[in-house]
Structure 1
Amino acid sequence: MGYYQERDRSITNYQMFELGNTGLSFRGPQPHTLAQGDYFTCLGAAQTFGCFGDRPYPNLLANWLKLPVLNLGYGGAGPSFFLHNSALIDYINRGKFAIVQVMSGRSESNSLFDTGGLEYIRRRSDGEQLGSEPAYQELLTTCDRDFVNQIIAETRQNWVSSYQLLLSKIKVPKILLWFSEREPDYQLTYNNIYCLFGKFPHLINAQAIAQIIPFANDYIQCVSTRGMPQLLINRLTGYPTTLNLAYQRPDLGDKTSFYNDYYFSPEMQRDAATLLKSACQQYLY
């Protein structure tokens, strides 16, 4: 079923399906064809998956372009997730073109943490698995600022290298998408973990983006907060409902609320699709 479907079943049906022999489940609807050049792909994290919405930007574009989409949005994914799962790159390269979301830096490995390309990480020193928030919070609490800066710089450079490699492996036209509530340029501070990470995509700044843009055919920047926070509506009753955004994640605490204040709203999804449409159209023929 998948984590998001289990957590969000009262809100929406993601029509999850297992993709070929990858062993991975993705959001549907499953494309009716995956023949060479008969679909396009969108790869990214939860923002591409489209939590709490019936029509994320990949689905909107598929409808507008009259072309099936393979939505490869995967919760917590960073660029190295797709490098670790090379079968996904084969699917991407069989499509007509690809939209590549700018993903979080906290899903990238460094000398302290092995992420496997996802947000839930393994601490190298003792093998303990934990979320990126408590892992980096401990780093902030126990280490001096110079060491924290060193780890952040290392993580960003690894992220850049992973993106450059991923984009070089994608042979079809690729549109790099910055999709966020903030501009790329931000200044990290050390007050707490949220100031360190910044808004999604965590840890990533304009300097990091500038190093990967040349590896894409197009770059689209969507900065929006429309519809946030999003009131959660039970799809069966039509009434507001609560949901714990940290479902089965005790490391994140209890985040039960009537509102989604993290995943991007349906209005934001439409904003992204609107900005992407013309860039996609040039690759249809």
Structure 2
Amino acid sequence: MAFEYTGSGALDYFPCRYGKSKLLFRGPRRDLTRPFVAAMGGSETYGKFVAEPWPMLLEDRLEFPVVNFGYLNAGIDVFHSEPQLPEATKSTTLSIIQLLGAPNMSNRFYAVHPRRNDRFLRASNLMRAVFNDVDFTEFNFTRHMLSTLQAYAPDRFDTLVTELRVAWVARMRGLLERVPGPKLLLWLGDYRDPLSSDPLGAEPLLVTQAMVDEIAPLAQGLVKVQPSTTSRSTGTVGMHFGPMEEPAAQTMPGPLVHQEIAEALAPVVRKFL
């Protein structure tokens, strides 16, 4: 995880493991033997470049422990495939599960790294048959690959999107069945600068209302947070990063977005305590 410490100004995230898990979550390490709220998600939940991510802010509002199980660059696969997950969350009062984008998970078309889910590993025979004129050795990351395929072959790209959406629903069903106790879904809307755009669409990438409706009955609630224009427009104000990290920081939610998430969650989570 050396990429987390790239120069002066970077945060110390006190990365820690729980039990026999190989996953490094944001620390400091917490006591999992007493009741707590679990916050599961990707880099947004981890709080990359932010001193006080939303799980910490939520804990302050609730005056009840909230353990940050956010994992950098995570897709659903990180949590769905983690054998220590049921043991680590057995004392939870509630698990808040961030809805993650559909591209960063293995599927019938391609495989991703089991922990760095944003990393593209290989194309399947099906992928090579559908995109038989594409050299997949050029790609290291899923977003780059999908953006390229969308621009190069939009008609065939739709076939891939359909597969990703079907796989997302199935994987989320599996995850929600594995997590013990009450569960609350967190749907974080697009937090990027409103003046910017992504050819793949808004965050979480390729996730639609219909997809969320399919899995919502497996949880006890859903909180959708659409960050305000003000919070999306602040750029990197209040964020902490080294001199080489500014481009990456510009793609992450800032402190105001984290505050809005905590404020939206607090009244709903209190009902479970």
Check 1:164–1:3 CA distance in 2 against 1; reply closer, same or farther (3 A cut).
farther
Map 1:185-264 to 2 at 5 A.
194-195=198-199, 197-225=200-228, 226=231, 228-231=234-237, 242-244=243-245, 255=247, 260-264=249-253
- In structure 2, the partner of 1:11 is 10
CA distance in 1, matches of 2:185, 2:157: 29
C-alpha displacement at 1:199, in angstroms? 2.4
**Secondary structure at 1:97's aligned position in 2?**
strand
Question: Are the equivalent residues in 1 in contact too, given 2:93–2:272 (CA < 8 A)?
Answer: yes
**Secondary structure at 1:86's aligned position in 2?**
coil
Q: Which deviates more, 105-114 or 116-125?
A: 116-125
Check 1:276–1:203 CA distance in 2 against 1; reply closer, same or farther (3 A cut).
same
- Letter of the structure 1 residue corresponding to residue 15 of structure 2: M
TM-score normalised to structure 1 length = 0.80
C-alpha displacement at 1:29, in angstroms? 2.2
**Secondary structure at 1:20's aligned position in 2?**
coil
Higher relative contact order (CA 8 A, sep 6+): 2
Could you tell me which of 165, 170, 173 is aligned with 1:156? 165
- In structure 2, the partner of 1:34 is 32
Could you tell me which of 179, 182, 193 is aligned with 1:170? 179
C-alpha displacement at 1:42, in angstroms? 0.5
Check 1:108–1:64 CA distance in 2 against 1; reply closer, same or farther (3 A cut).
same
C-alpha displacement at 1:141, in angstroms? 4.6
Question: Are the equivalent residues in 2 in contact too, given 1:49–1:72 (CA < 8 A)?
Answer: yes
- Letter of the structure 1 residue corresponding to residue 211 of structure 2: A
Could you tell me which of 40, 47, 51 is aligned with 1:50? 47
Check 1:3–1:79 CA distance in 2 against 1; reply closer, same or farther (3 A cut).
farther
- Cα RMSD for the two superposed structures: 2.5
Check 1:138–1:86 CA distance in 2 against 1; reply closer, same or farther (3 A cut).
same
Check 1:177–1:112 CA distance in 2 against 1; reply closer, same or farther (3 A cut).
same
Question: Are the equivalent residues in 2 in contact too, given 1:96–1:283 (CA < 8 A)?
Answer: yes
CA distance in 1, matches of 2:32, 2:238: 34
CA distance in 1, matches of 2:7, 2:202: 23
Could you tell me which of 57, 62, 67 is aligned with 2:64? 67
Q: Which deviates more, 6-15 or 67-76?
A: 6-15
C-alpha displacement at 1:90, in angstroms? 2.4
CA distance in 2, matches of 1:146, 1:4: 37
CA distance in 2, matches of 1:15, 1:62: 18
**Unaligned residue ranges in structure 1 (runs of 5+):** 183-192, 236-240, 246-254
C-alpha displacement at 1:277, in angstroms? 0.6
Work out the percentage of aligned pairs sharing the same amino acid.
22
- Letter of the structure 1 residue corresponding to residue 92 of structure 2: G
Could you tell me which of 118, 135, 140 is aligned with 1:130? 140
Question: Are the equivalent residues in 2 in contact too, given 1:177–1:222 (CA < 8 A)?
Answer: yes
Aligned residues: 252
